[in-house]
Amino acid sequence: MHNHVFKTIARHGLIALFFFFSISAMAAEVAKMDRIVAIVDQGVITEKELEDRIQTVIAQLEKQGTQLPPRDVLQKQILERLINDRLQLQYAAQTGLRVDDAQLDKTIERIAEQNKLSTGEFRKALEAEGIPYRKFREDIRNEIILARLREREVDNRVNVTESEIDNFLTTQSSRNDIQDEFEVAHILIRAPEESTPEELQKLKAKAEAALKELQSGADFAQVSAGYSDAPNALEGGILGWKASSQLPSLFVDALQTLQPGQLSPVLRSPNGYHILKLLNRRGGSSPLVVDQTHVRHILIKLSEVVSELEAEQKINSIKERLDHGADFAELARQYSEDASANNGGDLGWTNAGDTVPAFEKAMNALDINEISAPVRTPFGWHIIQVLERRKQDMTQESARLKARQEIRARKADDAFQDWLSELRDRAYVEYRLEDKY
């Protein structure tokens, strides 16, 4: 009897001891995952958040076939990005920038459509890959907020003048390599304007260390992920094909001396230190000649008060009057619900892609001066008439458009980095990554 009681007590004691150690281990794991690795103003970043982001980035790099940088390097790189994202999201919330559920649902629907899936199928596909749908929704919400914040605070304030475009094109046209195109990968070690000489020396040393790794045979994408401050660092730093007119003179001068596969030395620009890798190069392109159509139309829109049937009856009535010799421009001025009505429905010269597919398809099927049957598009019901067609050399216009886009992109990137630096300077950031458990 006593032996039985003793054994029972002993067994229960072992069970209690097992549970004690199990609970202690679980508590230690929870404490580890809830450990704060950074304080960002009024918020914190936990080790779990950092670890989740690291695993996501690792999965992306492995999918791209990129060799992973050292764990500690990747960890610090990703923590910096989390801090910058958190600061921006906090500022967005403080200034009333929100993305409601309806907007979010529409964005996710578009993402699902791009993957040729219904929303339900897309959700199942995410969960099959181990991505919780709720977390995916919040990540997309944050991405939208960050994009809108940048647009509001920076992009909308960047202006490009015609004289800037003229100067850009004049500078580029004075160089013999104007038509060359380069496929480039890029690493940037950013150097803020207010950096001290000691800080600049450290940043330069960092760039030289990255170059040394590359020269020793390290994978460019791996070094980019570990060192680069460029927005596409985790995508391998690939800039894609760029005409020489789209690149800074500093880059073009360096690239001209390289063969595909070779690396530039460390280059210094006002915004930091750069390393380039020339992936490929090719000669200039031929003049850009496009087909243009001079077209006019009459539009009857659908609305809450105008049904599909009513709009169709109205457009058919207009078409019947045109068939009996009525003046197109007069009917457009009288009935069309488009901004072109005052011009008799004239849309001017259009290029491929300027109009929605249904409109363009109907327009392209018409002969000169032919009037279409009523055409349904997302805007409503149209009657279309083609007035002229021509081939137009758009080389100059295209060059100016590319110049505007390139200047704007450069100015916006510089302005965004300056704004982000100011945001960070105003914030309280405390690192706790090195704290012991």
For residues 390-395, average pLDDT: 80
Select the highest-mean-pLDDT range: 129-133, 217-221, 252-256, 344-348. Answer: 344-348
Among 6-10, 147-151, 265-269, 276-280, the range scoring the smallest mean pLDDT is 6-10
For residues 179-203, average pLDDT: 88
Among 52-66, 220-234, 298-312, the range scoring the smallest mean pLDDT is 52-66
Share of the chain above pLDDT 70, in %: 89
Select the highest-mean-pLDDT range: 32-41, 107-116, 201-210. Answer: 201-210
DSSP bridge partners of 397: none
For residues 281-296, average pLDDT: 78
At the topology level, CATH places domain 289-393 in Chitinase A; domain 3 (3.10.50)
∠ CA 206-416-83, rounded to 5°: 65
Decide if pLDDT at 102 tops 80. yes
Residue 170, pLDDT score: 80
d(CA 185, CA 260) in angstroms, rounded, equals 11
* Of 154, 164, 155, 177, residue with least CA distance to 404: 164
Decide if pLDDT at 292 tops 50. yes
DSSP bridge partners of 187: 275
d(CA 122, CA 132) in angstroms, rounded, equals 12
The domains of the chain are located at 2-34, 289-393
pTM: 0.57
d(CA 18, CA 232) in angstroms, rounded, equals 49
d(CA 193, CA 417) in angstroms, rounded, equals 11
Decide if pLDDT at 436 tops 50. no
d(CA 303, CA 311) in angstroms, rounded, equals 9
Sign of CA dihedral 124, 125, 128, 130: negative
